[in-house]
Amino acid sequence: MHESHKFKIPIGPQHPALKEPESFSVALKGEKILGVEIRLGYNHRGIEKACEERTYIQDIYLAERICGICSHSHSSCFIQCVEELAGLEVPKRGLFIRTLIGELERVHSHFLWLGVAGHEVGFDTLLMYTWRDRELVMDLLAGLTGNRVNYGMNTIGGVRRDVTKEQLRKIKETVDVLEERTMYYIKIATSEPTLINRLSGVGVLSREDTLSLDAVGPTARASGVSRDVRRDDPYAAYAELNFYVITDDHCDVYGRTIVRVKELLESFKIIREIVAKIPEGPIAVKAPRRIPAGEALSRYEAPRGEDMHYVKSNGSDKPERVKVRAPTLANVQAVKHMLKDRYLADLPIVIAAIDPCFSCTDRMVRLDRMDKGQSDVINWKQLHDYSLGWHREHGVDFSSLNERLKKAL
Amino acid sequence: MRELFNIIVFPGFIFLALFGFAAEYFDRRMHARLQNRKGPPWFQPVADFIKLISKEDLIPSDANAGMFRMAPIVALASTVTAFLYIPLWNGKALYSFNGDVIVVLYFLTIPTMAIFIGGWYSTSLFARLGSVRAITQLFAYEVPLFIGILSAALLADSWSLAGIVRFYNSHPLLFICNIPGFVVSLVALLGKLERVPFDIPEAETEIVAGAFTEYSGRLLAFFRMTLAIEMVVGASLLAAVFLPTVAVPGASGSAGTGLYPAAFIGFGVYLIEVFFIVALISLARTIFARLRLDQMVVFCWKFLAPLGIAQLLLNLYLKGLLTR
């Protein structure tokens, strides 16, 4: 089939396999992938810069909007930095509630991933089933926080809403139902032949490559790297909870599926433990408006892997610098490696297997041309002129209209 | 006048179109219910068709407009023509001659070729990949389909579909021997209809809509209708060859328009059989993931073709027993 025929197809920035804009330019020979060029930068929102111009309280909500799925992770991670700078001791109950929301978020994120993975390999039934069950978690989160996503639960020094006994009972009931469903998905994932055929041996990332490419989260754990911030550097209430870090030795997409499904079971265990152990007391302490000068770095195990926030304070009510390293940025380099010598049909599931969140990852890229010593960055005025020039070339010219407008005024 | 009625209304184009819509609705609804969804209302396929028909046809500027326009029409015409040779309920097709089983299989191959040509001439990368995949897939499922259906014909000692149906009417229990052939043909039909697990040529998450990527408006409507009708025709073919029919006494009148109760019973049984096969197709669509092209080809040649050949050998042996 066209042995001599090599061509490039664009997967993205707009493509049905991608939920967010990102460009994968795939060089193909027949069905075989020769190489992939990944290009970020289609969804840059300038959140880090925006954080510097807002107060810490406003920044919490901005950080929450870095990601639509792991929103609680980003706001918690940001807040941990600020609390460290301010030297705040968050009450136990507040930490437990924060952890509870974090685990519920992990559950809904992993269910979401399972559905997306099913869709990418053409197994829509899995998508329909998992997303139906995900609604149970979404309802819980809506009941606890008032929102399905972007919960607005965190505040500096604790959380904003308490949970009632009634709510805890409901969480327990729902978790029982979800655990039963998860067992069913484990059965499907380990026995359905077409699914196993599509997942195993695909997107292989060896343990050595994982370490050298610095993959994080389930992607790393599926390659046998036992790395989990919740255990290695406990934050919130994790130091008081018992759980295992799930690892797997398949090193492929199948392994990543197994890790995520088993992690769901661990999350249910953690949630049950939180419900049983949650102490009484206040949920937050009062936080100062101005944060003392200093810098802090915090880590958080988001559903997609290790999330990292860095905050530098200058003693005012606004941070001087905020830096976010979302888990996808650590994993996206591995994708190129995983796709080597695979088929085009594997591309969507391999990309999906790192559970990418491109808008979290996106950053501005500045190209410095080494040969000419010139930079490709253009300022607002240049962009404006370029746009006008482009339209003039294509026959759209408003300059005469502008002059007439000036005269009329 | 009679021929015109037969070709245009029953069992020709209009009947087939409505039947195709009904089967598409049944398939979508069943698929949805199996997935714990509500599914579309009964008029959804018709509404989709009318909506597409009323839209503008966009033809890519680089595409060969003639070929691009011709492909869906050829596909639709050949599928509808194939139906004329399939006996519906009383062992008699509208037109029948010795060898028409080959012609029907041949007519059912044309839509795939038309999809290839339409995709190839639309000059989009996704469409070209899709059309190449469609052809690659054709080489994998076509042989098992032929072996499966022709081995049943071999046992019946007739190369006309009407003859095959008459034979199995008089030997109703022999259909049990053809069950492996039925399975082979059904799986091959999934490939022909580009259904999960063999929807590789139009794998949405890889190559957008495959060969149909550049199609829109009326031409896309015709292609979609072709696939719906192909499902009905393929199911009718399998029903005629493999499923037991009720031997209806007194239904020896002319095919097509008889209005006696026996014909109604026969027609009802035929409908049930077709919907049974459509149900099997949507069940497969629900419980499987899409295979990769290489896996599909390996599956067809390693499992499907040998099973078909086993059926062929079994039927040769049976035929020896029967004619002794």
* Torsion on CA atoms B254, B260, B261, B264, rounded to nearest 10: 50
Q: By the CB < 8 Å criterion, does B196 face chain A?
A: yes
Task: For residue B161, give the nearest of B95, B244, B217, B111 by alpha carbon.
Answer: B95
**Does B297 reach chain A within 8 Å, measured CB to CB?**
no
Tell whether B211 lies on the interface with A, counting CB pairs under 8 A: no
The answer for A224, left when phi > 0, alpha when psi is -120 to 50, beta otherwise, is left
Tokens 């409507």 correspond to what residue? Answer: B221
User: A245 in a domain, yes or no?
Assistant: yes
Question: Among A167-176, A215-224, B255-264, B281-290, which stretch is predicted with the lowest mean pLDDT?
Answer: B255-264
Kindly report each contact of residues A125-134 with a partner whose C-beta sits within 8 Å and lies 24 or more positions away, as own/partner: A125/B34, A125/B35, A125/B286, A125/B287, A126/A185, A126/A188, A126/A195, A126/B289, A128/B35, A128/B36, A128/B37, A129/A181, A129/A185, A129/B35, A129/B36, A130/A185, A132/B36, A133/A178, A133/A181, A134/A108
pLDDT given at position A1: 43
Candidate from A98-102, B238-242, B247-251 with smallest mean pLDDT: B247-251
> Based on the domain organization, do A269 and A400 belong to the same domain?
no
d(CA A9, CA A32): 12
Is residue A31 scored above 50 in pLDDT? yes
User: Which H or E run contains A49?
Assistant: helix A47-52
Residue A2 has pLDDT above 60, yes or no: no
Question: What are the b/e assignments for B182-204, b being 16+ CB within 10 Å?
Answer: bbbbbbbbbbbbbbbbbbbbbbb
d(CA B112, CA B89): 28
Q: How confident is the model at residue B246 (pLDDT cuts 50, 70, 90)?
A: low
Same domain, A243 and A303: yes
Does residue B248 or residue A166 have the better pLDDT?
Answer: A166
Residues of B in Cβ contact (< 8 Å) with A119: 205
Do A329 and A252 reside in the same domain of the chain? yes
pLDDT, position A110: 92
B129 contacts in chain A (CB < 8 Å): 9, 28, 344
| Residue A172 at interface with chain B, using a CB cutoff of 8 Å | no
Q: Which residues of A touch B197 (CB under 8 A)?
A: 122, 194
Mean per-residue pLDDT for B102-128? 88
- Give A345 to chain B, closest Cα distance, Å: 6
Please give the Cα distance from B174 to B26 (Å, whole number): 30
Predicted local confidence at residue A107, as pLDDT: 92
Q: Find out whether B162 and B91 touch, Cβ atoms under 8 Å.
A: yes
Query: Which amino acid appears at position B210 of this protein?
Result: G
Taking the Cβ of residue A19 and every Cβ of chain B, the question of whether any pair is shorter than 8 Å is answered with: no
In a mutational test of the B interface, the residue from A135, A197, A257 whose CB has the highest number of chain B CBs within 10 Å is A197
Model confidence over B11-67: pLDDT tens digits? 677 888 888 899 999 999 999 998 888 889 988 999 999 999 898 888 888 888 888
A134 within domain boundaries:
yes
Chain A residues touching residue B37 (CB < 8 angstroms): 128
Co-location of A350 and A383 in the same domain: no
Where would I find the H helices in A192-325? 193-199, 207-213, 217-221, 229-232, 253-277
Residues A303/A69, Cβ–Cβ less than 8 Å: yes
* Structure letter (DSSP) for residue A280: P
Distance of CA A376 to the CA centre of its chain: 29
Side-chain-side CA neighbours of residue A90 (13 Å)? 26
- Residue A14 is predicted with a pLDDT of 82
A3: pLDDT strictly greater than 60: no
**What pLDDT does B91 receive?**
61
pLDDT tens, residue by residue, A32-71:
888 888 877 788 888 888 888 899 989 999 988 888 888 8
Same domain, yes or no, for A396 and A277? no
pLDDT band (50, 70, 90) for residue B244:
confident
Domain contains A344: yes
Within a domain: A14: no
Tell me what the mean pLDDT of segment B149-164 comes to.
Answer: 84
Residue A281: inside a domain: yes
Asked if B104 and B85 count as a contact pair (C-beta separation under 8 A), the reply is yes
User: What pLDDT does B261 receive?
Assistant: 67
In our burial notation (b when 16+ CB lie closer than 10 A, e otherwise), range B65-89 reads eeebbbbbebbbbbbbbbbbbbbbb
Residue B298 CB contacts under 8 Å (≥ 6 apart), including other chains? none
User: Which comes out higher in pLDDT, residue B258 or A236?
Assistant: A236
As a whole number of angstroms, the distance between CA A56 and CA A291 comes to 8
Side-chain half-sphere exposure of B237, counting CA atoms within 13 A: 35
ipTM field: 0.80
Most confident range (mean pLDDT) of A300-304, A343-347, B14-18, B198-202 is A300-304
Mean pLDDT of B86-91: 71
Report whether pLDDT(A240) > 70. yes
**A7: phi then psi, degrees, rounded to nearest 5:** -150, 165
Taking one residue from A and the other from B, the number of pairs with CB-CB distance under 8 angstroms is 84
Cβ distance A69 to A47 under 8 Å? no
Choose from B292, B295, B299 for mutation: most chain A CBs within 10 A: B292
For residues B262 and B274, what is the distance between their CA atoms, to the nearest angstrom? 19
Report yes or no: B139 at the A interface, CB cutoff 8 Å: no
Distance CA A276, CA A268 (A): 12
The answer to which of A330-344, B32-46, B140-154 has the lowest mean pLDDT is A330-344
| A227 and A306 share one domain | yes
Mean pLDDT to the nearest integer, B178-193: 88
Indicate whether B232 pLDDT > 80: yes
Does one domain contain both A301 and A387? no
Count of Cβ atoms closer than 10 Å to residue B42 Cβ: 13
B270-321 pLDDT per residue, tens: 888 889 999 999 998 888 888 888 888 888 899 888 998 888 888 888 888 8
Q: What is the pLDDT of residue A111?
A: 92
| Block residue for tokens 């009632």 | A164
Q: B48 in the Ramachandran plot: left (φ > 0), alpha (ψ -120 to 50) or beta? A: alpha
Give the SS3 label for residue B103: helix
C-alpha distance across the termini of chain B, in Å: 47
CA-based torsion, A107, A110, A115, A116: positive or negative: positive
Structure tokens at A20: 């967010």
Do A321 and A400 lie in one domain? The reply is: no
Per-residue pLDDT at B88 exceeds 80: no
Number of domains in chain A: 2
Residue count of chain A = 409
Give the domain CATH number at A267: 1.10.645.10
pLDDT in tens, A269-324: 999 999 988 888 888 888 888 888 889 999 999 898 888 999 998 888 889 888 88
Q: What is the DSSP string of A134-149?
A: HHHHHHHHHHHHS-SS
CA nearest B148: which of B311, B265, B273? B311
pLDDT tens digits along A106-140: 999 999 999 988 888 888 888 999 999 999 999 99
**Among candidates B107, B77, B80, which has minimal Cα distance to B18?**
B80
Contact state of A16 with B292 under an 8 Å Cβ cutoff: no
Report the residue count for chain B.
324
What pLDDT, on the 0 to 100 scale, is given for residue B259? 52
Mean pLDDT computed over A167-176: 90
Asked if A343 lies within 8 A of B35 by C-beta distance, the reply is no
In a domain, A335, yes or no: yes
Q: Are residues A402 and A300 in the same domain?
A: no
Average pLDDT of the residues of chain B: 83
Those of residues 272-301 in A touching chain B at CB distance below 8 A are none
DSSP letter at B75 equals H
pLDDT at A206: 85
Hey, which residues 249-288 in chain B have their CB within 8 Å of chain A? 286-288
A383 domain residue, yes or no = yes
Comparing A150-159, A341-350, B83-92, B109-118, the range with the smallest average pLDDT is B83-92
Q: Which residues, 6 or more positions from B306, have their beta carbon under 8 angstroms from its beta carbon?
A: none
Between the CA of residue A104 and those of A13, A51, A267, A368, B232, what are the distances in Å? 31, 27, 8, 44, 47
Q: Kindly list the distances between the CA atom of residue A129 and the CA atoms of A132, A181, A353, in Å, as whole numbers in the listed order.
A: 5, 9, 19
pTM, two decimal places: 0.83
Distance from C-alpha of A363 to C-alpha of A285, rounded to nearest angstrom: 35
What pLDDT, on a 0 to 100 scale, did the predictor assign at position B93?
Answer: 66
Share of chain B above pLDDT 90, in %: 4
Query: Is the domain of A298 the same as that of A383?
Result: no
> A389 and A297 in one domain?
no
Query: Does any domain span residue A181?
Result: yes
A399 and A299 housed in the same domain: no
Domain containing A396 equals: 379-408
Using a CB-CB distance cutoff of 8 angstroms, which residues of chain B are in contact with residue A130? none
